[in-house]
Amino acid sequence: MDVLALEAKSVNGSDAEKKSAPRPKPKPPKKAKRIVYFEVEIVDLKTKEKLLLLDKVEPTATVLDIKALFQKSYPKWYPARQSLRLDPKAKCLRDEEVLQTLPVGTTAHFYFSDLGPQLTWGTVFLSECVGPLIIYLMFYFRLPFIYSPKYDFTSSKHWVVHLACMCHSFHYIKRVLETLFVHRISHGTMPLRNIFKNCGYYWATAAWMAYYINHPLYTTAYYGQQQVNTGLYIFLFCQVGNFSIHVALRNLKLPGSKSKRIPYPTKNPFTWIFWLVSCPNYTYELGSWIGFTVMTQCVPVAFFTLVAFIQMTVWAKGKHRSYLKEFRDYPTLRSSILPFIL
């Protein structure tokens, strides 16, 4: 009986100790981090006139966000039309740059300039391609006021003339379809004034080529059908290669993502040229026009090919430098446009 009483007493004592033991104090809630807001002042690049002062701009705001806020005060200047920079002589800031990562204090000064009316690059590409397609066909069908009236709506007796029309049309229809369904264009817009320069060049050279190839007095290639066939095979081979590269570059970019990756060859043999050049799409494009030149043996086509080669070399060299700058592990064996040469 005494033993039971002692056990009960010890149990009650332990319960009392548990109840009287101090409970751990709850941790105080963490203090919210103090957000440092920015003050953004936008001035005109030319007149240095103060255009807008934005107060309490979040540090995570992007340049595009600031452009959107600016548009609320100046509706005619939509974001694509705005150029913002930190210094009058500095480069334009990219839309994705974040305010808190820029070399500014809590008061940021931006210089604004108007880029003028803008067009999407898709619209530009379509204009550049549809124009030559229609213009060439006008000469091919020998519409009135192009050649002598007796040749109106007549057709050439040379098979190569019809073949050249099919190849030229195929090239530009391919480019139109690629613009609509393949390309993921990273550049947003281009100034409206530039479209006259771009389209003027492509449309004028297309008319120049078409005039001579479809002329009633056109003479065929010096080496006959063998030369025509050689040019045709080069043209078709490079057109397939060019399309293969465009598909590979599309698959490299994720929809809506601006992250860049190094392009590498795929299972498609036409993409294996990536081992040797950075911009094989330009390599194949050049090859296509060389094939077209061989096939038609036409001086305007050769001139267009030469100018295109110079321009694409400039683009390819710029892209190659960009790859080397962005990726430390970029393949050193690659050239810009021509393997081991250029």
The pair phi, psi for residue 56, each rounded to 5°, is 55, 55
DSSP 227-245: HHHHHHHHHHHHHHHHHHH
Domain covering 38-116 in this structure, CATH number = 3.10.20.90
pLDDT band at 183 (very low <50, low <70, confident <90, very high): confident
> pLDDT digit string (tens) for 259-313?
788 999 999 999 999 999 999 999 999 999 999 999 999 999 999 999 999 999 9
In the prediction, which pLDDT does 21 show?
A: 56
- Mean pLDDT lowest for which of 95-99, 217-221, 275-279? 95-99
**Rounded Cα–Cα distance for residues 166 and 175 (Å):** 14
> pLDDT digit string (tens) for 141-180?
999 999 999 999 999 999 999 999 999 999 999 999 998 8
DSSP 102: S
End-to-end CA distance of the chain: give it in Å, rounded. Answer: 106
In the prediction, which pLDDT does 26 show?
A: 66
- Mean pLDDT lowest for which of 128-137, 174-183, 185-194? 185-194
pTM attached to this predicted model: 0.79
**Domain boundary assignment for the chain:** 38-116, 118-216, 220-341
Quickly list H helices, 116-223: 121-140, 159-181, 192-213
Burial 297-307 (b: 16+ CB within 10 A, else e): bbebbbebbee
